[in-house]
A and B are shown apart, each in its own frame.
Chain A
Amino acid sequence: MSRAGAARPEGPTPQVKRAEPSAHAAGFQWRQAVGRVVAHEDRGAGHRWLEIEVDAEFLVPRPGQFVQLLLPAPAPVLLPRPMSVAAATPRGATLALGFLYAPVGAGTHALARLALGESVELLGPLGRGYPLEDPGTPVLVAGGRGVAPLLFAAEALAAAGRRCEFLFGARSRAYLVGLDEAARRIEGLGGRLHPATDDGGLGHRGNVVDLLAKLAPGLDPEIVLHACGPHAMLGAVARWALERGTPAWLAMESIMACGTGVCRGCPLPRSEGGRAAYLRERGDAPSLEGNHEYAMCCTEGPVFAAAALDWERVT
């Protein structure tokens, strides 16, 4: 099956239920479902595109949310793999979920061996996505494979008729996997795609954060950043945004076990401000989202406001 994930959504059908924007409401909305692999193909530079069809009882994820994907037994790994959703396309009574990934560890290598038609268990949608409805021009900032949830975000913005700027950086042209999809999703609404490569093979020579700094004076004064990529890049985006008072939302990663807030395994350190806000709202007791010291990546995140985390302690 070809690039279904890049197709424009057919629009929500009446029976499709969308995930709530609120993290607290989202906490108990996830479902367990059995899906079927309907597309699985190479995307170049070691990347793969995986598409899984589930029934529409599975809520449509919001861009930035993730699902836990359990490999069929026997698998070389025990735990499910948290996967950022790169596309969600309702098709009648089913929902097609797209994932862009690169086989890097034992789990993702096993994932790469999934055959068409094979069954996979999924849990989701999990966590909190990007607040795309926030006012201001959305500026999407992607680093490498971090483009996955931003392709989904670009699609959602296009469906809402909103123009966005899309900054996409990688080591070279070949690693800008998803560049064409990104272009398709923002075209027609006056959006612009700004590539950056370390080797200068396409677009800006250098990293995507430098590109952001370079472009910023020419952008609308009211912008909102939505970023995903390596933590070092996200830290740089967060610092840049905090210095300027620009709202920024960063999709973080962590090793996870349950993905639902129960195991408490994926803490990220809160900033001073984040700690004070938690104490003010909830006191010193842990909640499903975390506690005053740490935010759980799986429930309060994976998308965080720049001001929420202590970027010096994020690893």
Chain B
Amino acid sequence: MSHAAPGTTDARVTPDLAVEIGPLKLRNPVLTASGTFGYGDEYAHVVDLKRIGGVITKTVTVHPRPGNAPTRLAETAAGMLNSIGLENVGLERFRTDKLPKLRALEATVIASVGGETAQELARLLETLGHEPGIGGFEINFSCPNVSKGGARYWAVPARLERTMRLLRTLTDRALIAKLSPDVTSIAELARACEQAGADAVTAVNTFVGMAVDLEHSRHRLNRTTGGLSGPAIKPLALARCHEAAAAVRIPVVGSGGIMNGRDALEFIAVGATAIQVGTVSFVRPRAATEVLDEMTAFLAERRVARLADWRGSLADPPPGVGDAARNGRRP
């Protein structure tokens, strides 16, 4: 992507939005969040996929999963709860049916993988780790809607570190750890991933939430809790992203309630290198490219030549909680 030379007198510049996550070069920081964009082809007829940074596919597990019993969704104030339960085609069908389609997409593909154990995750990367057409992997350490191998299981730094070390040996592609916000210290988990060789961490997955149907005196979701997403969680997600970014030197991928380009740039300002759009794609399928255009226009208007110049302008950890993050940051 070209951009005007520094010191240009043009009223507007075309900012350079290219970012790197380990070995993976992205044309811009806009990624579609796992579980909100299928396998890319479902939206390819309305979204120009070659314009965005990349597509993160629906989490794949070793075996196919039918997902949770209904009701799986509840709309809440400025957000939604989901309890899908990692419904997916399983590793074998992913490899034979989905991968050829992913390779045909004009998009950088990051495959999301999930497992109940380190061994399951290892098996996924043993199979997919060197497959052409996959630019990187996002390890889903944070699903709130499964009984085994979910967010709670993985919120143990030592387990996370051990697992990431194992996975690191299985692929040379970008490895991103997607973290849960419902943890004591996201900084500690992010550091565990960094030490184990992760190329980035995603902050954050959905927040555990609940909705009650008072008229019928029952839970709205069959599994009682679900993952909260949408604009309601943006302030919470920003704080987690900020804390994680202050704790590690690897890139942080910001995610949570991004609805437009300004939201995305807030995450970049607090230290994110890339961002994910999720729930907004359910509202406006073309949201990913809209967010990209809005980011570009905002930066151009302020004559910011490179996204890197915007990144981290508000990244210093605040006093108190931030001290822990700052102390943990390597010099």
Question: Do A and B come together as binding partners?
Answer: yes
A residues engaging B (CB < 8 A)? 27-28, 30-32, 70, 77-80, 121, 123, 254-258, 260-269, 283-288, 291-294, 315
B82→A257 contact, CB < 8 A: yes
B66→A28 contact, CB < 8 A: no
Considering only CB atoms, which chain A residue lies closest to B43 in the complex?
Answer: A262
Give complex CA distance A51, B230 in Å.
30
Within 8 A of A (CB), among B185-206: none
Q: Of A254, A256, A288, A294, which is in contact with the most chain B CB atoms at under 10 Å from its CB?
A: A294
Q: Of B37, B43, B87, which is in contact with the most chain A CB atoms at under 10 Å from its CB?
A: B87
| 10 chain-A/chain-B pairs, Cβ below 8 angstroms | A27-B42, A256-B73, A258-B282, A262-B282, A266-B70, A266-B72, A284-B64, A285-B89, A286-B88, A294-B66
Residues of B within 8 A of A258 (CB): 281-282, 285
A265→B89 contact, CB < 8 A: no
Residues of A within 8 A of B43 (CB): 260, 262
CB of B75 within 8 Å of the partner chain: yes
Minimum C-beta distance from B79 to chain A (A): 6
Known: A78-B279, A78-B283. A257 touches B42 (CB 8 A): no
Minimum C-beta distance from B258 to chain A (A): 13
Within 8 A of A (CB), among B76-132: 78-80, 82, 84, 87-90, 93, 97
Which single member of B67, B88, B230, B283 contacts A294 (CB below 8 Å)?
B67
CB of B133 within 8 Å of the partner chain: no
Known: A28-B45, A78-B79, A267-B70. A260 touches B285 (CB 8 A): yes
A265→B72 contact, CB < 8 A: yes
CB of B231 within 8 Å of the partner chain: yes
CB of B71 within 8 Å of the partner chain: yes
B residues engaging A (CB < 8 A)? 35-38, 42-43, 45-46, 64-67, 69-75, 78-80, 82, 84, 87-90, 93, 97, 230-231, 279, 281-286
Minimum C-beta distance from A17 to chain B (A): 14
Residues of A within 8 A of B82 (CB): 257, 263, 265
Among all A-B residue pairs, the 4 with the closest Cβ atoms: A293-B66, A265-B73, A285-B89, A258-B282
Interface of B is mostly: loop
Known: A77-B75, A78-B75, A256-B73. A261 touches B38 (CB 8 A): yes
Give complex CA distance A215, B189 in Å.
67
Considering only CB atoms, which chain A residue lies closest to B67 in the complex?
Answer: A264
A260→B73 contact, CB < 8 A: no
Considering only CB atoms, which chain A residue lies closest to B78 in the complex?
Answer: A78
Give complex CA distance A283, B66 in Å.
12
Considering only CB atoms, which chain A residue lies closest to B84 in the complex?
Answer: A264
A261→B75 contact, CB < 8 A: no
B64→A286 contact, CB < 8 A: yes
Which single member of A28, A32, A283, A315 contacts B70 (CB below 8 Å)?
A315
Q: Give me 20 other A-B pairs in contact (C-beta within 8 A), A265-B72, A267-B72, A287-B89 excluded.
A: A28-B42, A28-B45, A30-B46, A70-B284, A77-B75, A254-B70, A257-B73, A258-B282, A262-B36, A262-B43, A263-B84, A283-B93, A285-B64, A285-B89, A286-B64, A286-B66, A291-B67, A291-B87, A293-B66, A315-B71
Give complex CA distance A284, B89 in Å.
8
Give complex CA distance A292, B67 in Å.
11
Considering only CB atoms, which chain B residue lies closest to A287 in the complex?
Answer: B89
Considering only CB atoms, which chain B residue lies closest to A70 in the complex?
Answer: B283
Considering only CB atoms, which chain B residue lies closest to A292 in the complex?
Answer: B66
Residues of A within 8 A of B79 (CB): 78
Residues of A within 8 A of B69 (CB): 267, 269, 294
B46→A32 contact, CB < 8 A: yes
Residues of B within 8 A of A293 (CB): 66-67
Residues of B within 8 A of A266 (CB): 70, 72-73
Considering only CB atoms, which chain A residue lies closest to B74 in the complex?
Answer: A255
Considering only CB atoms, which chain A residue lies closest to B68 in the complex?
Answer: A267
Give complex CA distance A283, B90 in Å.
11
Known: A284-B64, A286-B89, A294-B66. A263 touches B283 (CB 8 A): no
Give complex CA distance A294, B66 in Å.
7
A80→B93 contact, CB < 8 A: no
Minimum C-beta distance from A170 to chain B (A): 22
Residues of B within 8 A of A260 (CB): 42-43, 285
A286→B87 contact, CB < 8 A: yes
Give complex CA distance A284, B87 in Å.
11
Residues of A within 8 A of B38 (CB): 261-262, 288
Considering only CB atoms, which chain B residue lies closest to A76 in the complex?
Answer: B77
Give complex CA distance A78, B281 in Å.
11
Give complex CA distance A270, B91 in Å.
24
Known: A78-B75, A255-B73, A286-B64. A265 touches B283 (CB 8 A): no
